[in-house]
Structure 1
Amino acid sequence: LKMADESDTPEVSELKQKINKWLDEHKNVLELNIRETSPNHGLVGYYSVIGQTQNFTQCGTAPDSLFIHSADNMYFNIGFAEKISRTDSVDTLRKQFQFVALDKLPMPDLQAPSNWIITPQTPISSFSDGVTIESFENGRIRYHIDTNFFAVYGNIPQEHPIMDAPSPPGTYLQVRRNFQGKITIDMPMFAT
């Protein structure tokens, strides 16, 4: 049997070393302070993004109950049990809060080739433990996430991937390593 590392290309091996060095230098902690000041950037109601106007009855799928933030190197969301409005209190948000998902986060100062997407991975796709909604005022939310990551994943997006086929060698990697995440998010909700 060949170990996965035996088939790494030189670029993948070098990138894995950089990731391990980054984690060592940061003492196995990813600290992020994500702040948006423009009302046009921030968390956007998911269903307004996809153009969905139906009313849903499933938990967390009502319009204005799921909010996403998408940028070049970030994609994350926060979900609530019921519709949230700009005038709700922080206590209402805390009671209605259901989960966050951290699909894509940056690793600041990690020197990775520009064609690679590198992101830490949580053990489960969405979670509520370790999330504290600190404030909500005038449609602006601030929340803090203390979580664990189990790996760093990287890939070179393929223009025309073949369904159910493995990615070509040298286009993906995973560095399995437990580390902490301390993330503060401060941005407007209902961004346009």
Structure 2
Amino acid sequence: MAAEQDTPEVASIVARIGSLLDTHKNKLEIDLTQETIEFSQHSGNLFTGNKPQVAITLGFNDEGLTKDSDLAQFVANFNFIALDRLPVPGLDGVPSQWEIYPQTPISSFSEGVTLEQYDPSTQILKLAVQTQFFAIYGSVPQKHPIADARAPKGTYLQVRRDIQGVIKLNAKLVFSS
């Protein structure tokens, strides 16, 4: 529900999010397999994938993984996934300046993550993630935000619910060496 202090635009977006969640019984199925996302290697054991509406980090325990490693090595060394930004499929009619994404209750996790397949010839790692989101968050990025100040009215929203997340992902691992 929109709060009394919300602008009409925020109230409209909150209503759209609520309707979407009601329609899908508080379940978000996010299929990111249509387009392979490149994950660049950082610090030896971290891979980060960024594209519009998507920011995900994969962490592994072993810095010795290579493009020729097999699925069992990736599974044995998997440490965490961080879902920093994901799209909300089916959420239409939101003005383009808004960034809207689901939020996990913790910043990174490993439970519910399945590494399904890895092909050394393409370096594509297929993953499935079952997780919980606690809210759908939205904001209008500010060009020069004032440190420690509240966001201006009408530039922030959060719809809190227990939301089941099902994510499918093809990650092209780009090794730095």
Aligned residue pairs, count: 171
In terms of mean alpha carbon deviation, does 96-105 or 75-84 score higher?
A: 75-84
Question: Does the 8 Å contact 1:36/1:42 carry over to 2?
Answer: no
Moved beyond 6 Å, runs of 4+? none
- What SS does structure 1 have at the residue aligned with 2:49? strand
Which residue does 2:110 correspond to in 1?
Answer: 128
In 1: Cα distance, 2:58 partner to 2:47 partner: 5
Q: Which of 97, 101, 106 lines up with 1:119 in the alignment?
A: 101
Q: Conserved in 2, the CA contact under 8 Å of 1:42 and 1:191?
A: no
TM-score scaled by length of structure 2:
0.91
The structure with the largest strand share of the pair is 2
State whether structure 2 residue 15 is matched by structure 1 residue 35. no
2:22 aligns with 24
Corresponding position of 1:53? none
1:14 to 12, 17, 21: 12
CA drift at 1:42: 1.4
Specify which of 96, 99, 107 is matched with residue 77 of structure 2.
96
Q: Distance in 2 between matches of 1:103 and 1:191?
A: 21
> Are positions 1:164 and 2:164 aligned together?
no
> 1:102-134 deviations in whole A, cap 9, x for unaligned?
111001221211000000000101000000111
**Structure 2 unmatched runs, 5+:** none
Aligned-pair identity (%): 41
- For the 8 Å contact 2:66–2:175, the answer to whether it is kept is no
Contact 2:62–2:77 (8 Å) recurs in 1: yes
| 1:67-95 residue CA offsets vs partner (Å, 9 max, x unmatched) | 11111111111100122211111111111
Equivalence map 1:175-186=2 (5 Å): 175-186=159-170
Counterparts of 1:9 and 1:32 in 2: how far apart (Å)?
Answer: 29
The TM-score normalised by the length of structure 1 is 0.84
2:128 matched residue in structure 1: 144
Residue 132 to residue 9, structure 1, CA distance change in 2 (3 Å): same
| Cα displacement (A) at 1:26 | 1.6
